[in-house]
Amino acid sequence: MKRVAIYPGSFDPPTNGHLDLIERSAKIFDELVVAILINEEKQPLFSIDERCAMLRDMTRRFDNVSIDTFNGLLVDYAVSRGAQAVIRGIRAISDYEYELQMALMNRKLQPRVETVFMMPAEAYSYVSSRLVKEIFRLGGSVKGLVPQLVETRLQEKVNGRTARTHKVARMPRRSR
């Protein structure tokens, strides 16, 4: 039987911690699907298409890894993809409580799908998408925390915003 796992998340943006877990999971499972949640309630920095493109670039070298999106219940999506497992990363004890609750709820919803907790390399144990966005927005360096291509995309977002603001600010006032 083919061992298939889903690695779900928001990936806004994907980090080196995510990549580390993808690499570890791809060694254990025959097929790994990195699945981005389409969440209408959240205002992400990167669109679904942008996140898909970044993850595709980052995982090009793994021939058993694919990128997909999903909405609705994770366990329903996992079953629809023929997956037996869901991968979640645990960086610190603080992650555990929430992850345990989610894993047990998912098991109640669908006992056929197991949650597998994995630890990223220590170097990424403090990396999160939320902190990466905050550090970048405030002008700090995110080198080593995200792949170069993600750093470039972050730069483009910020530059795009600056350029637009700049343009608007310099527009001559309309005479009434």
Q: Which residues are catalytic?
A: 18, 42, 91, 129
Provide, rounded to whole angstroms, the least separation between the CB of residue 157 and ligand PNS: 19
The two tokens of residue 11 are 């990936």
CA torsion 152→154→156→162, rounded to 10°?
-140
Q: Which is nearer to ligand PNS, 9 or 13 (CB)?
A: 9
Provide, rounded to whole angstroms, the least separation between the CB of residue 145 and ligand PNS: 16
Residues 17 and 28: their CA atoms lie apart, in Å, by 17
Q: 8: cis peptide before it, omega within 30°?
A: no
Q: Which is nearer to ligand PNS, 37 or 54 (CB)?
A: 37
Longest dimension (CA), the chain: 73
Binding site for ligand PNS (CB under 6 A): 8-10, 37, 73-74, 102, 105-106
Q: Which is nearer to ligand PNS, 101 or 159 (CB)?
A: 101
Instruction: Taking each helix axis as running N to C, give the angle between helix 129-137 and helix 148-170, from 0 to 180 degrees, rounded to the nearest 10.
Output: 40
Residues 146 and 152: their CA atoms lie apart, in Å, by 10
Provide, rounded to whole angstroms, the least separation between the CB of residue 70 and ligand PNS: 7
Nearest-CB residue for ligand PNS:
9
